[in-house]
A and B are shown apart, each in its own frame.
Chain A
């Protein structure tokens, strides 16, 4: 009989404890991010598609068109083209095509780059209607950014 009553009282008490926890949560501020209206900053190690970095001094790309990234890419999704120009030392980048449909985000291109000319972008809004939308010209993207 004592056990029966004790069980009822402790059970009822535990229900009130549970209600206390939820009502405390009720009055605490919400933790969700209202995604389309608010965006969280991406973490530094997020791996988006690659993009060309900017040389802080010149504002141009650091790429020397050595082709290391193209060779390192296991999926053959990078095409780098450059040309010799009068009065400029080394080659000048004319186009940097990334076929993102094949990219597996392995990062070997970023590792192999001798001048740190490419890095992972933080871009994740990548919805598109055609396959061609995922063939990025990274040089044009960099110029558009500037």
Chain B
């Protein structure tokens, strides 16, 4: 019997991507707890397995064995579809991410666009889940998420447009290939294209934090004000899937930042490029995301919107104009 190798490749990547997302979700929780503990000079999980490494496994079993409660009065369809709507786009985005020269599920010419298109669905999932829960905290949370994402999508996309103007392609593989050969070739230090490239990276990173609802922009899940925000009515694995989606989105955000600004799988000194460099950079960015969470307190909602509309958007537009001027002149 003849089987198309393309189908086998597709299946392998499907399984691999889901396993990668789930493993990351589980072990980023462990990393988060460990890192938080050490920043506060504690030890963190240590009892279950060496260094507490089996803790995520035990947590997963706990979540899976818990009863899935569907409260009376919720919208039965929206309530159940919302976690999937958060999880699936995150996994879909992995399709176009090139982890190394050869390791990519599907190299699309509009890879960058695909990722941002799917990233926008994440908000819809949260909104539907919160609306379907029929819970006032969830609805407040959803309103916050939507206005926050509208505010931060603009500087993020303007920064990305600036970058695409420089690279001239939306193909993630080509974007990385242009940056190969050492850290002085990376887009973050591409000062001849625009002297504001490091600032553009900062803007992108801040927007990524806001888009993935991470602290200090975790308005959606502000425990001290909104119980658990959009997740309030979810129990067991419903909550677990939301959580996995959140962490998968962080992985996507860190991967995109790595590809766009930090040269993807390129080695900083031009030696031995490969998937390990991609992972090192990506996990360093994730480490920074967690590091930020345990350093800064949550901003107020006004502070959050002011930061976007008064600072990030003007600067990213200025960068856009500066870059286009420099591209025209030189």
A residues with CB within 8 A of B? 8, 12, 15, 18-19, 21-23, 25-26, 28-32, 34
Given contacts A8-B311, A26-B35, contact A19 B41 (CB under 8 A): no
Cβ-defined contact, B41 with A31, below 8 A: yes
Contacts of B296 in A (CB 8 A): 15, 18
Contacts of A31 in B (CB 8 A): 41-42
Q: A31 vs B40: C-alpha distance in the bound complex, in angstroms? A: 9
Chain A to chain B contacts (Cβ below 8 Å), 18 pairs: A8-B315, A18-B295, A19-B292, A19-B295, A21-B295, A22-B291, A22-B294, A22-B295, A23-B39, A25-B39, A25-B41, A26-B38, A26-B39, A29-B41, A30-B37, A30-B42, A30-B43, A32-B43
**With contacts defined as CB atoms under 8 Å apart, how many contacts are there between chain A and chain B in the complex?**
38
Which residue from chain A places its CB closest to the CB of B216 in the assembled complex?
Answer: A15
Q: A31 vs B292: C-alpha distance in the bound complex, in angstroms? A: 22
B residues with CB within 8 A of A? 35, 37-43, 46, 202, 291-292, 294-296, 311, 315
Which residue from chain A places its CB closest to the CB of B43 in the assembled complex?
Answer: A30
Contacts of B202 in A (CB 8 A): 12
Q: A26 vs B34: C-alpha distance in the bound complex, in angstroms? A: 10
> Quick one: which of B35, B40, B202 has the most chain A CB within 10 A?
B40
Cβ-defined contact, A32 with B291, below 8 A: no
Interface of A is mostly: helix
Q: A31 vs B42: C-alpha distance in the bound complex, in angstroms? A: 6
Contacts of B39 in A (CB 8 A): 22-23, 25-26
Q: A19 vs B37: C-alpha distance in the bound complex, in angstroms? A: 15
Q: A30 vs B291: C-alpha distance in the bound complex, in angstroms? A: 17
Cβ-defined contact, A28 with B41, below 8 A: yes
Q: A34 vs B42: C-alpha distance in the bound complex, in angstroms? A: 10
Cβ-defined contact, B291 with A34, below 8 A: no
Picked from B40, B43, B315, the residue with its CB within 8 Å of the CB of A25 is: B40
Q: A97 vs B40: C-alpha distance in the bound complex, in angstroms? A: 46
Q: A25 vs B42: C-alpha distance in the bound complex, in angstroms? A: 10
Cβ-defined contact, B43 with A34, below 8 A: yes
Which residue from chain A places its CB closest to the CB of B297 in the assembled complex?
Answer: A18
Beyond known contacts A19-B291, A26-B38: 19 more, CB 8 A cutoff: A8-B311, A12-B202, A19-B292, A19-B295, A22-B39, A22-B294, A22-B295, A23-B39, A25-B38, A25-B39, A25-B41, A26-B291, A28-B41, A30-B37, A30-B43, A31-B41, A32-B41, A34-B43, A34-B46
Contacts of A26 in B (CB 8 A): 35, 38-39, 291
Q: A15 vs B288: C-alpha distance in the bound complex, in angstroms? A: 13
Contacts of B291 in A (CB 8 A): 19, 22-23, 26
Q: How far is the CB of A118 from chain B (nearest CB, A)?
A: 39
Q: A51 vs B30: C-alpha distance in the bound complex, in angstroms? A: 46
Q: A83 vs B87: C-alpha distance in the bound complex, in angstroms? A: 80
Which residue from chain B places its CB closest to the CB of A20 in the assembled complex?
Answer: B295
Cβ-defined contact, A30 with B38, below 8 A: yes
Contacts of A8 in B (CB 8 A): 311, 315
Q: A23 vs B35: C-alpha distance in the bound complex, in angstroms? A: 10
- In the A-B complex, the 10 residue pairs with the smallest Cβ-Cβ separation, listed nearest first, are A22-B295, A31-B41, A22-B39, A32-B42, A26-B38, A26-B39, A18-B295, A30-B41, A30-B43, A25-B39
Contacts of A21 in B (CB 8 A): 295
Q: A23 vs B291: C-alpha distance in the bound complex, in angstroms? A: 8
Q: A26 vs B42: C-alpha distance in the bound complex, in angstroms? A: 9
Q: A146 vs B148: C-alpha distance in the bound complex, in angstroms? A: 70
Contacts of A15 in B (CB 8 A): 296
Q: How far is the CB of A5 from chain B (nearest CB, A)?
A: 10
Q: A29 vs B42: C-alpha distance in the bound complex, in angstroms? A: 9
